[in-house]
Amino acid sequence: MMIISTKGRYGLRILIDLAMHKDEGFLPLNDISKRQDISKKYLEQIVPVFVKAGILRTNRGSQGGYQLAQSPDKITISDVLRLTEGDFSPVPCVGCEPSECNRKEQCQTIAVWQGLYDVVNNYLGNITLQDIADRQNSSDNYII
């Protein structure tokens, strides 16, 4: 079972919140914390990952806070979850180069694991923050 940690889930919620409020300038963590019902302390642990990766920018001072550094239609769910969760490889020999498996060339199941890896990456790589923000006010909450 692929489990996404709270860091990944909350990180995604932070970025979707910022995408939905992108026209409001820099937003304080307090505001995001209240809207998303996530402790500010936990948010303070997550946002540096996105700042360092160039997904968020920060501003200090009275008008301080965070905003997306890129357009929300350019940031995929895959981008976000790779930063917080790492690679989506179902087994160590898929997605890693060079391969960590000595048996990869003779493996009878490698095509199954590679297929799963490709499906997950393709699915998450084709959904953007903007897609989710657009659906927030829609009755269609499913993304296919």
Residue 58 has pLDDT above 80, yes or no: yes
Tens of pLDDT, residues 8-39: 999 999 999 999 999 999 999 999 999 999 99
Does the residue 144 lie in any domain?
no
57: β partners:
67
Task: Quote the pLDDT of residue 99.
Answer: 61
The single-letter DSSP state of residue 76 is B
CATH of the domain at 62: 1.10.10.10
Does the residue 92 lie in any domain?
yes
Going by C-alpha positions, the residue among 60, 65, 118 that lies closest to residue 89 is 118
Does the residue 143 lie in any domain?
no
Give me the percent of the chain exceeding a pLDDT of 70: 90
Task: Quote the pLDDT of residue 74.
Answer: 97
Number of separate domains in the chain: 1
On whether the CB atoms of residues 66 and 56 are closer than 8 A, the answer is yes
Residue 137 has pLDDT above 70, yes or no: no
